[in-house]
Amino acid sequence: MHELKIGWASRDISTDKPVDIPGQFHIRVSRGVLDPITATALVIDNGEDLLIFVSADLVSIRAYLVEEVRALVKAREPGIPVDKIIISATHTHDGAGYYRKAIAGMATPDQVPHAGIEIASSDEYRGFLAGSIADAICEAYAGRQPGGVTYGYGFAAVGHSRREVYFDDLSKRPGSAGRPGMMVDGHAKMYGPTRDPMFSHYEAGMDPFVNLLYTFDAQGNLTGAIINVPAPSQCSEMRETLSADYWHDVREELRARHGDIFVLPQCAAAGDLSPRIQHYYAAQQRRFALKYGAGKDTPVDLLQRRDIAERICAAFDEVLGWARREIHAALPIRHEVAVIGLSRRMITDEELANETRELEALEAEPFKSDGTPEEQLRHNSVLVARRNRCRRILARAGEQKTQPTCPVELHVARLGNIAFATNPFELYMDYMHRIQGRSPFEQTFVIQLTGGSTDTAGYLATERGVWGGGYSASIYCNQVSPKGGQELVEETLKRLARFAP
């Protein structure tokens, strides 16, 4: 009873075509592949219920991508319950763009003149992407074989707080005008300078936990692992080449140690965290020079990635060493999918009036027509992104009159004595700790940036984050309020309690 069958598959979702690379306010066009971006699927089935995980090296997972993937899978393999497909992003800022025309977020190429710059069709790429993910899911499902799992946690310092807090209100400093559509200044600033004499502290701490789930074949051979880390993969976030960021380095190192195993990364709650340190820059340079023999001309992002990969792999091996003493070949599985409503972050009358004025000014600003095509594209795509984000505030102000909550697809699952809980947000770390601290399970894997049937996404800031303001905690970034964040916590815990061992 409850005997496990496990299937894995992976696809390279890279493209050599010059696609848009989302993740910044300006449009970047890819100039090849630095390292492969991949989509990896894992199916764990016990005959009564199942788990279907997909991890993709993308910045986010939109609802229409999930819809397309589920439709393809349903057509190819009707036996797969497609509503239980969980697709999450590693949040690399060097993944390929597949977005439809943006009306509420960053600019898409069809909104910005780009004469002289070739940009491949995002619709064409999305067709390839959705097909590749569906292929991986169907292959993993068809390839299920008897096997076992074990789990554990280790430690690796990867994510650091990226929100600096200051004694004074930055919006009241001389010359502070803010940037409509981008941010609203306050006491906090993402990636703010720590040498500022008014620097007080980091808003959040860090979470060094690495949650790990290992899979084995019937002979006890390691076949793959889920690695759940509270940090986005954005060391190389400004490049113009496709890249899986530090997860590429992790995969390469683990396969050098353990053979051709599957690696499925999950980004735990990390809306206020980053893999890049915010101080100790000179000390880091010395560390890399002495550790790797690197000179000042060596790209720092690649050294950061290597350093992080070594820490994750050390945790991986340390936990594997003791966790494999208890491999489970049969376990109960429970997997529930629900759409819940979370309280909106409401737009005030004052904010609405301000955004109306700001949008008028942004729409009156002409596109840049001098300089190189690349300079024009950068400037004009930022302008369009700012307009889009202001327009979204106006739309939300209308929606909130009749829709006080935002719909969110939530997955909560049990696998023996561990649990998984998803959300679509760049979720602030505190919410994860509230879930894990009260969870009835030995370990709870929180998975952020998981796509679903709804379009609610963005950052979900805490109460202290909203107080501090700045990027990631402003009205532009938050569809859901801190009250809604706590509702997410409670809804998750309610379902976990029903599945409790």
Residue 179 pLDDT class (50, 70, 90 cuts): confident
C-alpha closest to that of 276 among 243, 239, 236: 236
Strands across the sheet with 199-202, in order?
188-190, 163-166, 199-202
| pLDDT tier, 177 (very low <50, low <70, confident <90, very high otherwise) | low
Average pLDDT, the chain: 96
Q: pLDDT band for position 105 (50/70/90)? A: confident
Does pLDDT of 58 surpass 90? yes
pLDDT, tens only, 438-458: 999 999 999 999 999 999 999
Q: What pLDDT is attached to residue 294?
A: 82
pLDDT tens per residue across span 308-362: 999 999 999 999 999 999 999 999 999 999 999 999 999 999 999 999 999 999 9
What pLDDT is recorded for position 6? 98
Contacts of 362 (CB under 8 A, 6+ apart): 180, 181, 383, 386, 387, 390
Asked if pLDDT for residue 103 goes beyond 70, the answer is: no
Q: How far apart are CA 249 and CA 403, in angstroms?
A: 44
Q: What is the pLDDT of residue 26?
A: 93
**Residues 414-431 as b or e (16 or more Cβ within 10 Å = b):** bbbebbbbbbbbbbbbbb
d(CA 483, CA 30): 39
SS3 category, 26? coil
What's the rounded Cα separation, in Å, for the pair 41 and 262? 9
Mean predicted confidence (pLDDT) in 23-32: 94
Distance, CA of 468 to CA of 454 (rounded, Å): 29
- Give the SS3 label for residue 133: helix
- Tell me the residue length of the chain: 501
The share of the chain scoring above pLDDT 90, in percent, equals 93
Q: Are 446 and 470 contacting, i.e. CB atoms less than 8 angstroms apart?
A: no
User: Rounded to whole angstroms, how far apart are CA atoms 436 and 229?
Assistant: 14
For CA atoms 214, 243, 15, 19, the dihedral sign is: positive
DSSP β-ladder status, 273-274 and 160-161: antiparallel
Report the distance separating Cα 485 and Cα 469, nearest Å: 16
Tens digit of each residue's pLDDT (9 = 90 or more) over 152-173 = 999 999 999 999 999 999 999 9
Instruction: Give strand ranges (E) for 46-175.
Output: 50-56, 85-89, 145-155, 160-161, 163-166
Average pLDDT value for residue range 83-104: 91
**pLDDT for residue 106 is more than 90:** no
Confidence of residue 297 (pLDDT cuts 50, 70, 90): confident
Mean pLDDT value of segment 193-213: 96
pTM for the structure as a whole? 0.97
- Residue 329 is predicted with a pLDDT of 98
Helix (H, G, I), strand (E, B) or coil at 173: coil
pLDDT band at 101 (very low <50, low <70, confident <90, very high): confident
pLDDT at 181 over 70: no
What's the rounded Cα separation, in Å, for the pair 37 and 245? Answer: 9
Check pLDDT > 70 for residue 104. Answer: no
Phi/psi at 496 (5° precision): -60, -40
- What average pLDDT does range 193-207 have in this prediction? 95
The phi, psi pair for 335, rounded to 5°, reads: -140, 115
Q: Which bin fits 417, alpha (ψ -120 to 50), beta or left (φ > 0)?
A: alpha
Q: How large is the average pLDDT for residues 226-250?
A: 97
Which residue has tokens 């060097």?
94
